[in-house]
Every structure is written in C-alpha cells, then in structure tokens.
Structure 1
Amino acid sequence: MAEGLFENVYNPDVLSCLANLSNDEVFTPPEIVNQMLDMLPQELFSDPDTTFLDPACKTGVFLRETAKRLIKGLEPQFPDLQERIDHIFHKQLFGIAITELTSLLSRRGLYCSKYPNSNYSVSRFDDAQGNIRFKRISHKWEKGKCVYCGASESQYERGDELETHAYEWIHTIKPEEIFNMKFDVIISNPPYQLSDGGNGASASPLYQLFVEKAKMLKPRYITMIIPSRWFAGGKGLDDFRKEMLEDNRNVRIVDYVNAKDCFNGISLGGGVCYFLWDRDNPRPCEFTNIHDDIISTQIRDLSEFPVFVRYNEAISIIHKVQSFKEKTVSELVGTRNPFGLSSAARGSEYEDEILLYSSGGKGYIPKNIITQGNDIINKYKVMISKVTSEHAGEPDKSGMFTVISTTRVLSPNEVCTDSYLVAFVSDTENEAINFAKYLCSKFFRFLLLQAVSSINLSKDKFQFIPIQDFSQEWHDELLYKKYSLSKEEIDFIESMIKPKELGGE
C-alpha cells in the first residue's frame, strides 16, 4: 500500500498547478526545486544520516522532491521500501510550516495524509504533525512594530481566527532549539515580505531573516530561492547585501532577470535567484544569469562592486569605463522630492509664478508653496521619472529595456513633484539639453540598468555612469568609440536597450 500511495502523491503536475499564488508567499514549481537540489553533492542522497530542513513549508515540495531522491539513493542500504520510507520520513526530513493550512498541505504532499498518525499515511507517526510542525506564534510588539520581523501591529495583531504570519523560524533567538538537532541541508523558499504599516503598500523584506537564521545553525549547505532585490540593497537589505557579497561560501547563484521565467505568472521587481551556500568549501562564486533565453555563467568575485552586477557580459564594459577614473552621474542626481511637493500635488490652469509638472500633467502654482530646492528654481533642470519604465523591472516581450521613462528639460521657474528626480542642473540650456540627450543614449541607460534591481531610481543607481563634458553633444557611436567597446560589447548593449527620444511617458 505504501508504494502505491507514494507513487500517486509524487506526481510533478500536482504542485505545479499550485505554484505561485501570491508575491509574498510564492509556491515553488517542482522543476525549480530539482534544479536547486541538483546543486548539492548528490552523495547526500545516498547517506542515511543526512538531515534536511525546510523552515518555511508551503506545499512540502522541497521535502517531497528530496524524499524522491533519498528513496532511490538509499535502496542499497534499505532494500525494503517501507523500511526505507520510515527511515527517511522519521530520521531525515523535517519542516516548519508557515501557516496551519500549509502544514496540512505539506503533510499531505509528503506523507500522503494531512494527519501522519492516520491509516492513510505512508509512514505512521505517533502524533498528527509528524516531522512537519506548525506552532502558532505571536509577534513581539514594540512601538507598533514586531521586534523580530518589522510587521505592523495595526495589521497583524489578530484574533485566533486569522493567521498571525509570525513565522516560528524568525521569531526565536535560538532556532536550533526548535527540533533540538543539527541539520546538514537547509532548503527553502521563504516568505518575501510583510506590510510594515508605512505609506501606501509599504512592506519590509523577510527573506533575508530566514537566510540569516539558517546560517546561525551552521549546516553544511543552504540553498534558498529569494528575490534578487538584495543585489542592490535598499530597504532593510543593505547589511544583508554586504554580508552576501563578501561571503565566499556563496559558491553558486542562479539569477532570473524576469521572475516569470522561474515562477510562471508572478511579477517580482528585480527578478528572483536561488543560491548554494557551502560551509566547508569556500571559493569564488559560479554566477549564472538568465535573461531572454540567454544563459551566461561566469566565475565571479561577488564583492567587486558596491552593488551586484547581474549581467556577466556587463563586467568588461564597466571595467573599461572605470579605467578612465571619471566622476559619476550619481554626484549630479538630486535627492528625492526636489521641491518638497508631494506626488499628489497638482497645478491649476490659471497662470501663476511657477509651472508644475506632475503625473497628472502640468499646471501653475505659487512660488511660496515650494519648501525646498529654491536655489535651482531659476536654473535649467533635467527631470526624469523616479520609477523605471519597466513594470517590476522586467524587460518587454523582446527582452529589451527602456529603463528611464519621462525625460524633460525644465526651464527656469519650472518644477516637478515627488514623482520625479532632478538628474542635472545647469545655468545654460545647451548643457541641460546635451545631458538629456546623453541620458537617452543606450550607453547611459545600460550602465544605469546594472545598478537597478527594482522599479525605483535614486542617486546611487547612477554610480557606473561617467560624467561627460556637456558643452558638447554625446551619442552612442561617440561613447562606444571613447571607451573602446568591442563589437560584442556594443551588440550586447544594443540587444538590451531600446531606442529613446526626449519626451514624456
């Protein structure tokens, strides 16, 4: 009976149908799980003492696919199938579910029964949880936030009828005490974020906390699939980025620029990646980037740049540009909200002192409502949208990027709302126009793309772009020649970046 039930539940199509129900708790397709398992030394699956933990079970797919490999690999040691299954499920596979519902789903996926002490379980346990536990945990509130995960008290202080989303793995100081044992492999797809009660749909990332807790247990291997936003840091991720880039135990990373190539139908700003952390064999990282059906692999020093450059083909281009030792455009770009006017601000049709550009169009406002940036009002300015042209940082259907949306030269007494950044300021219109044309070049936008891992633009994202002499006009042919780019390098830029003219959205 065990063999029949086991064959029925381990149908790859079952969990493929469940994959990807939300951006915060994305379900992993079995084929991606197996790609992650392929990175591990395969002798682990022939060792009856190897232990595996998924600290964020949703469907149980990681444990299920691991079980399939163990059942095959341990056949010489345990010829009897039932004895083999009992050993694997009782001694080698462990999980912590993220909700009560996913605990039932995970047990059903692994044990063929949501209650492993029932007659239908392929391996009988003495209790209803087996080795996949779920414990309802409360957040620890301090000043309206959870001290462990940053969740908002106003949104997640709930009654017993609702999930708290206080995940046990990251709401403990000593995760090793959850099972009171050591693990050889920790493998998972953790929840990505929780609302933090900020403006709009503000949310704090969570996945880095799962990685950090996993490292606390010092397993032999960690492999997790997480958003790639950490490449460029940002909200709650700067320390995590630094640690990941400097840790030479991160020996393999596979990066999908477009998350839909990994999770069908799911948009994740900046894409998604999975990695292998090898405790005992530190070495340079084998980095694979996948975009537009192009797969590129290179041995990399992850900490070479302040942000992680995800396109292997871009490295040689950046090296050539940086060899000129020029100042960068990040020194020119202003901070957010250049004139102290919110994104919701709108001008009127009645002529006044100042012309305001907003996402709703243009209109007039009195000068006295401007609270900052008064020193540049009477200058020429180059305005750009503070979000990228692409939804969720994904390329278009052809695999190409525009990167920058609105680009406009503002004359004296013209300003913009917080929907835009001021990228350049000059006393002369000619310099402003030449900068705007430079900004529209494929060269400029390609280098900008290397530091972008979400839809938002800020000063630091312009760190790879050199400042030019803006008394003259710059175009791609001239820039390619100046930096001695090869035909292959030029072709790569041209294949990624769409043409752009000065103008609106």
Structure 2
Amino acid sequence: MSGQAAFALRGRNPDVLTCIANLSNDEVFTPPEFANRMLDTLAEAWAESRGGANLWADPNVRFLDPCTKSGVFLREITHRLVEGLKDDIPDLQARVNHILTRQVFGIGITRLTAMLARRSVYCSKHANGPHSICKAFSSEDGNIWFERVEHTWGETKCVYCDAPRAILERGEELENYAYAFIHTDDIRACMKEIFGGDMQFDVIIGNPPYQMKGGAGGSSDSSIYHLFVEQAMRLEPRYLCMVIPSRWMAGGRGMDEFRRTMLSSRKLIKLVDYPVSKEVFPNVAVEGGICFFLWSQFHNGPCDVTVVRGQEETTSSRQLDEFDVFVRDPRAVGILRKVLKAGEQSITDILTADTPFGIATNFDGFHDKRKAGDVALHYVRNGRRGIGFVPRNMIAKNTHLIDKWKVLAPEAHGGGHKMPSSVLGKPWLSPPPSVATQSFLAFWLENEDEAQSLESYYRTKFFRFLVSLRKLTQHALRSTYSWVPVQTWNRLWADEALYKKYGLTQEEIDYIEAVIRPMEANGGGDDA
C-alpha cells in the first residue's frame, strides 16, 4: 500500500474512524486501511490506462460516494488530492476549497451518517461553519447531501427496494431507510437536483447498505447492495469501485440477473475476495465473505482476481463467465472442467427443491407415537434431529416420494469459513413411509441399497467439494448441487474411486484433501 502524506489541515492520532462502532450488520463502516487499499487499486488502474498519470494530481476528476457513512472514502480522497495538487494549486486554502467544492461529493444514507461524514471531511458538522476547513461553502451541507426520502409503496413493499410497508411506513421521527440514490427512475436528474447542475462523475466509490430488513417477507431480509451498483453504472462513471458481500458470486435471492451482468460484462478490472469477512470487518460477520471490485466502462477483457485468506494472497487473470456462477479458487476450475466434460446427469434430477413436503421448519403439529395411517416426519429442533409422526393425508406436496427411500440433506450448515470445511451437514437415511420439514432437502431412490450407495457418495470429499464451489453461505438449496454428477447406485463410494474415474492429478487430489474435512459414517466430522 502506498504511503500517505500528512494532511496539514488535520491531525488525528489515533484515527477516530478506526474506533467507531458499526450501526448494524447491514450498515458497516469501512476501515480506513481497507478504504486505502481500494483507492490504491483505483489509482493503479488510472495510471495504467493513462500512461502513468497520477489520479491525485488531476484537478478535474470528480468523485462520488453515493452511500457515505463515516465519510472515510471522501476523507481519504481529499487527503490524497491535497498532496497531489500542490503544484497545480500552490495555496493550501485555495486547494482545499477547490477539492471540496469541485471534486468530492457524497450522499449520506441517514441524517446521522451525513453529519458524521461532514465531520470527517470538513472537520465540522456544518460545511460553512467557523471550524470547517473549507471556506467556500454557503450551505451547511456542502457537497455531502442528505434529505429524508420516502418509499414508494406498492401493496406491501416499496417498488424500489422491497422495504416492507408494515415495518417501515412510519413517522418522521424514525429512520425509514429509503436511500435516495436507489429511489428514483432517473438518477441523472436526481443528481442534478441534489447537487445543482449536470453532474458527470469520473469515479463512484463506496460501501452500500447490504440488506433491507424484512424485505424478503417475514423475518427474512432482502439484498439491496446490488441496487446501488446498478444505479451507479447508469451514471456511466469512468470507474466504479464498491465493497459488497461476496455471496453475489454464486447465490443470493434475486441475484441471478445481477450476477449474469457482472460476470459477462468483461468490464471488471479487479476483484478482491475475502472469504472470511472478519479479515475486512473484524467486528462484523458477513456470511459468504466480502469483496471489492473495480469496474470500468472502458475495460473489455479478463479480470485480475485476488483471493485473500489471512496472509495468503493468490492472484490470477480470469474470464469470469465460463460458468453460471463464479468459482472463487482457480485451482478448482481444472477439476470442475474434468467433471463437467464427462457430460453426466446432474444429481439434482433426483433431489427435491426447498420445503420438499410443504412442511415448514417450525412445524410442531406432529405426535411422538405412530398412529394408523401415519408417516414418519424428520425434523430439527434447537439443533437436534428428531422423528415424529403425522397423518399421511396431511401431506400435499411430493406425495409420490412418501414411499421412496430417501437420503435427507440438511438445508443449512456452517458458512464455509473454516478450512478445511465439512461444507454440508451429515446425511440422514430415511426409510419409507417418511417425509421431512423444510430443514432438509431429499434425494429419492428405489431401495435401501441404492440409498446407502448415495449416502456413501454424499460423505465423500469429492461430492462435498463440488457442492462447495456453489455454496458461499450456510444455505445449500437444490441449485447448489448442480455440478454433482449422478453415479451408479450399486456400490459404496469412496474418494479414491472417484478421483480415478475423473482423472484427477495428485496435485488436484491434494487440493481437495486439504480443503474438505472428512465425514465418517460412524459419527465423525461435523454434526448438522
């Protein structure tokens, strides 16, 4: 990381922005060190595309953080510009006035964060106050804007962000989380109205809110970070750089189109992925990890992908759209190619979707003793598995599978952060007649021997490795198993036979063995 010149207009030791607590797991403050890594990446790309030009020495470049919280990006950009523009604008006060009125812009996500950002950037909560380092503003907001915006309600949700009306249609004394940047159909007109003129931003950078509470219905949250990315792209900046959860790469409700666009656009210059989010945000756990990307409307080619695990960084130049999801580790790509080349049927053809028998996880209408006409119900309560009984005639979904042998796969397990990882919870052999709650997906087979064969396959490192390539969070839905091929169900499977069948090299075998934990049939490995 490049060294930072001292900012003559402020002194901070320690940096207060390394000390403040996050507002929530959805609105995470970016550590200054991480923000500077992103700015270094941006500056390197700028120089490479412009014959070594210094981004921070250009008085005409315009920056926007459309979701500013602590103001760290704007502060560090200002810091760099103050040093870089010394020769072009020698007078310090004139230089600061120019930078803060002409080059650095932000939109607060709440009233509180807007004030915090102004304090970070202007050294005053009022841009035109006596303590402000800028002496050219006439308004209190300066170029860090916030005004309350209302949701546009449909019947139950906001049409822009899926905010639940029942939760967030409330009085002005409470924050409603209607973020201005994504609550408009005409973002250019919105920027003109906010900042008072036609605005063309060269660089858009930030760390958007990740989720909308209750946006997916009930207690579930919906992702909204992609809405900020898509809106920023509509402004056509030269560069776009944002911190977002890594789960977009292979999953996430409503992420299919966003993922397809990101992977196929060929506009990503750099993607830096942290599978363990605490390496970026020490006090916040973001399921599936965290990444930042650098996008350019002028780029058309491969992307440099860096995966960071502790002190280990691996970088490779990749075409991102070889598969429908992004495979994080390039070492896995060769293995996957060999498996897919065989052209075999996917195991998803004998796997149910979510809520296989229409029974929710929290269903408690079962009884402990079997009655005439009952079927066994496999469930999970407080992390423990159990079997109850329900009348056959209450099952309305997948009734043709009640009398099949089944191998039940836990729908949720872990988060993929540990290395080596078990990836999946232990399977559960389910003889007929039986069903299961939403806690499981169900593979179905014709008899007990076939079920035992599939169960042995499920426990192999090979099987769980292929699942891991599509599983970034704790949830393993049906699509997560798409790359696992069907085998013949006339034997008990072991990794050695599978490695040989697909022609894996010793190096590839060693890689799988290193990243996947054993799962023994006698109770070894992780519990579900």
TM-score range, shorter-chain basis? over 0.9
- The equivalent residue for 1:486 is 505
Deviation at 1:230?
1.2
Code of the residue aligned with 1:37 in structure 2: it is: L
Matched, 1:147 2:170: no
Matched, 1:16 2:18: yes
- The equivalent residue for 1:231 is 249
The one-character-per-residue Cα deviations of 1:422-474 (angstroms, maximum 9, x if unpaired) are 0x211221111111111111111111010112222112111111111121121
Code of the residue aligned with 2:456 in structure 1: it is: K
CA distance in 2, matches of 1:408, 1:292: 35
Matched, 1:69 2:69: no
CA contact (8 A) 2:156 2:166 kept: yes
- The equivalent residue for 2:411 is 386
- The equivalent residue for 2:431 is 411
- The equivalent residue for 1:160 is 172
Flag the 1:12–1:460 CA change in 2: closer, same or farther, 3 A. farther
Deviation at 1:200?
4.0
CA distance in 1, matches of 2:379, 2:360: 9
CA distance in 2, matches of 1:330, 1:51: 49
- The equivalent residue for 2:114 is 103
Deviation at 1:176?
2.1
CA contact (8 A) 2:162 2:215 kept: no
Flag the 1:232–1:276 CA change in 2: closer, same or farther, 3 A. same
Q: Secondary structure at the match of 2:11?
A: helix
CA distance in 1, matches of 2:7, 2:455: 67
Code of the residue aligned with 2:378 in structure 1: it is: Y
Worse-matched range after superposition: 41-50 or 182-191: 41-50
- The equivalent residue for 2:71 is 60
CA contact (8 A) 2:216 2:222 kept: no
Deviation at 1:487?
2.2
Deviation at 1:501?
2.5
Matched, 1:51 2:62: yes
Of 400, 421, 426, 2:445 maps to: 426
Worse-matched range after superposition: 494-503 or 20-29: 494-503
- The equivalent residue for 1:436 is 455
- The equivalent residue for 2:148 is 136
Code of the residue aligned with 1:276 in structure 2: it is: L
Matched, 1:172 2:184: yes
CA distance in 2, matches of 1:187, 1:449: 31
Of 320, 323, 342, 1:324 maps to: 342
The one-character-per-residue Cα deviations of 1:303-333 (angstroms, maximum 9, x if unpaired) are 1101111122111110111121111212221
The one-character-per-residue Cα deviations of 1:345-394 (angstroms, maximum 9, x if unpaired) are 3432222332211103112222222222221222210001111x21xx24
Deviation at 1:289?
1.5
Deviation at 1:197?
5.1
CA distance in 1, matches of 2:313, 2:26: 27
- The equivalent residue for 1:26 is 28
Of 395, 411, 414, 2:417 maps to: 395
- The equivalent residue for 2:517 is 498
CA distance in 1, matches of 2:506, 2:86: 54
Unaligned runs of 5+ in 2: 1-5, 48-53
Q: Secondary structure at the match of 2:308?
A: strand
The one-character-per-residue Cα deviations of 1:170-190 (angstroms, maximum 9, x if unpaired) are 112222232331010000100
Of 225, 248, 268, 1:207 maps to: 225
CA distance in 1, matches of 2:316, 2:519: 31
TM-score computed with the length of structure 2 as normaliser: 0.91
Of 398, 410, 413, 1:373 maps to: 398
Matched, 1:122 2:147: no
Q: Secondary structure at the match of 2:163?
A: coil
The one-character-per-residue Cα deviations of 1:252-272 (angstroms, maximum 9, x if unpaired) are 101111111111121112111
CA distance in 2, matches of 1:198, 1:147: 13
Instruction: Calculate percent identity across the aligned residue pairs.
Output: 43
- The equivalent residue for 1:356 is 377
Flag the 1:291–1:434 CA change in 2: closer, same or farther, 3 A. farther
Q: Secondary structure at the match of 2:403?
A: coil
CA distance in 1, matches of 2:280, 2:236: 28
- The equivalent residue for 1:7 is 10
CA distance in 2, matches of 1:308, 1:492: 19
The one-character-per-residue Cα deviations of 1:144-168 (angstroms, maximum 9, x if unpaired) are 2111111111111121111121111
CA distance in 2, matches of 1:38, 1:4: 17
- The equivalent residue for 2:3 is none
Q: Secondary structure at the match of 1:18?
A: coil
The one-character-per-residue Cα deviations of 1:375-426 (angstroms, maximum 9, x if unpaired) are 1222210001111x21xx2423xx221111131111111221111100x211
Deviation at 1:20?
3.6
Deviation at 1:87?
1.1
Flag the 1:199–1:280 CA change in 2: closer, same or farther, 3 A. closer
Flag the 1:221–1:199 CA change in 2: closer, same or farther, 3 A. closer
Matched, 1:245 2:247: no
Code of the residue aligned with 2:421 in structure 1: it is: F
TM-score computed with the length of structure 1 as normaliser: 0.95
1:249-328 aligned within 5 A: 249-328=267-346
CA distance in 2, matches of 1:199, 1:145: 9
Of 30, 33, 36, 2:38 maps to: 36
Flag the 1:468–1:4 CA change in 2: closer, same or farther, 3 A. closer
Deviation at 1:97?
0.4
Flag the 1:292–1:479 CA change in 2: closer, same or farther, 3 A. farther
Flag the 1:281–1:378 CA change in 2: closer, same or farther, 3 A. closer
Unaligned runs of 5+ in 1: none
CA contact (8 A) 2:426 2:519 kept: no
CA distance in 1, matches of 2:118, 2:476: 43
- The equivalent residue for 1:468 is 487
Q: Secondary structure at the match of 2:35?
A: helix
Q: Secondary structure at the match of 2:205?
A: strand
Q: Secondary structure at the match of 1:365?
A: strand
Flag the 1:197–1:289 CA change in 2: closer, same or farther, 3 A. closer
Deviation at 1:201?
2.2
Of 112, 116, 139, 2:123 maps to: 112
The one-character-per-residue Cα deviations of 1:224-253 (angstroms, maximum 9, x if unpaired) are 001112112431211111111111111110
CA distance in 2, matches of 1:316, 1:366: 49
